[in-house]
């Protein structure tokens, strides 16, 4: 039986980026969910516009009838931005259902080798059986684009990892993250270029005033800092993550003209190791299943692959 792989994108003000990220995954997944607030509100309650042309372009791309729209009034003024985001992701997870890999990818994340990702998920499809005793949370690595300059991109390359796939339903507790107490975290070698900050100034400002982390740092000060960074002075800055400074030690520069060129050059220069689970992991899976049938509590252990 073919492994079911479903992916979801949360749509908001930066919807244009979807058409770059979705084309990367389209041929390799079974279902694509586009999650849209029916009142067109962001996590923080700001209004945004989603033109009819967006739906027309989606329809044109959906040649295999894979795309499902999921629209509800997700925003609630009684919740914080991150609480609204987490709730929306859990509702999406429930919509995806059981017996499938549930992937959540942001529209500004572009996997360098998505075929390898789905090959890994297919190889380890046994984890979809009895997820209650073999819950897993897969994590990949960002290469974060910090700023586009006249001659290329400033970026962060420090194996900053993020959650992107799981076999369990509605267990997100902070954005996409799943608690490692209840879910075994598998740190993979997969890479995604993250166009988080490499946008026009007005788009960056819109992002940081509306995303789930808007209350975690001084928006105005950090935005002014971002504006000041250039090809000429980027080497002078260290510890520059907006709310976890040590996570971004320094900036690097790659001369190139486009996002596609950056991704291609980076992939050529940084061939990742194949992500392989050890034999003991599969043995642990069998042991956990046995414990499940015998009614013995299963102890969660993380599996880091380097």
- Can you give the pLDDT at residue 272? 77
Average pLDDT over residues 209-224: 90
Q: In the structure, what pLDDT confidence band is assigned to residue 300 with cuts at 50, 70 and 90?
A: low
Q: What is the pTM of this model?
A: 0.90
CA–CA separation, 107 and 292 (whole Å)? 38
- Can you give the pLDDT at residue 181? 63
CA–CA separation, 37 and 27 (whole Å)? 26
| Helix (H), strand (E) at residue 19 | helix 18-25
Close Cβ partners of 146 (under 8 Å, ≥ 6 residues apart): 153, 154, 155, 156, 196, 197, 198, 226, 229, 251
Segment 254-295, tens digit of pLDDT: 999 999 999 999 988 988 778 888 766 667 777 776 666 666
Strand partners, 109: 194
**Opening angle at CA 23, ends 54 and 48, nearest 5:** 30
Task: State how far the alpha carbon of 86 is from the alpha carbons of 2, 103, 213, 218, 223, in Å.
Answer: 30, 14, 12, 22, 25
Sign of CA dihedral 238, 241, 242, 246: negative
Is the per-residue pLDDT at 304 higher than 90?
A: no
| Helix (H), strand (E) at residue 255 | strand 252-255
Q: In the structure, what pLDDT confidence band is assigned to residue 305 with cuts at 50, 70 and 90?
A: very low
- Can you give the pLDDT at residue 292? 64
**Residue 301 or residue 230, greater confidence:** 230
Is the per-residue pLDDT at 5 higher than 70?
A: yes
CA–CA separation, 209 and 203 (whole Å)? 10
Domain range list for the chain: 5-304
Helix, strand, or coil (residue 141): strand
Average pLDDT value over all residues in the chain: 91
Segment 66-75, tens digit of pLDDT: 999 999 999 9
Q: Which residue has the tokens 């026009």?
A: 200
CB 115 within 8 A of CB 148: no
Q: Which residue has the tokens 């190889």?
A: 123
CA–CA separation, 210 and 219 (whole Å)? 11
Task: State how far the alpha carbon of 51 is from the alpha carbons of 56, 57, 86, 107, in Å.
Answer: 9, 10, 26, 17
Is the per-residue pLDDT at 303 higher than 60?
A: no
Percent residues over pLDDT 70 in the chain? 91
């Amino acid at each position: 039986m073919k492994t079911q792989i479903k992916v979801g994108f949360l749509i908001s003000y930066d919807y244009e980026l979807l058409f770059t990220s979705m084309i990367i995954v389209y041929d390799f997944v079974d279902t694509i969910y586009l999650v849209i607030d029916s009142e067109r509100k962001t996590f923080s309650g700001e209004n945004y516009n989603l033109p009819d042309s967006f739906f027309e372009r989606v329809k044109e791309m959906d040649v295999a009838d894979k795309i499902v729209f999921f629209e509800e009034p997700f925003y609630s003024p009684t919740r914080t931005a991150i609480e609204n985001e987490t709730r929306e992701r859990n509702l999406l997870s429930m919509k995806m259902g059981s017996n499938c890999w549930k992937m959540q990818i942001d529209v500004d994340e572009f996997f360098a080798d998505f075929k390898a990702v789905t090959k890994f998920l297919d190889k380890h499809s046994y984890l979809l059986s009895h997820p209650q005793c073999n819950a897993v949370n897969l994590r990949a690595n960002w290469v974060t684009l910090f700023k586009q300059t006249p001659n290329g991109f400033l970026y962060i390359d420090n194996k900053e990892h993020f959650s992107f796939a799981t076999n369990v339903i509605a267990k997100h507790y902070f954005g996409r993250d799943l608690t490692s107490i209840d879910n075994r975290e598998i740190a993979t070698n997969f890479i995604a270029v993250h166009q988080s900050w490499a946008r026009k100034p007005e788009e960056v400002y819109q992002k940081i005033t509306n995303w789930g982390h808007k209350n975690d740092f001084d928006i105005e000060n950090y935005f002014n800092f971002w504006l000041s960074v250039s090809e000429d002075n980027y080497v002078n800055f260290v510890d520059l993550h907006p709310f976890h400074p040590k996570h971004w030690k320094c900036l690097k520069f790659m001369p190139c003209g486009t996002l596609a060129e950056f991704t291609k050059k980076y992939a050529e220069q940084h061939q990742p190791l194949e992500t392989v689970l050890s034999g003991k992991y599969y043995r642990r899976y069998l042991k956990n299943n046995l414990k499940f049938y015998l009614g013995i509590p299963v102890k969660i252990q993380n599996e880091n692959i380097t």
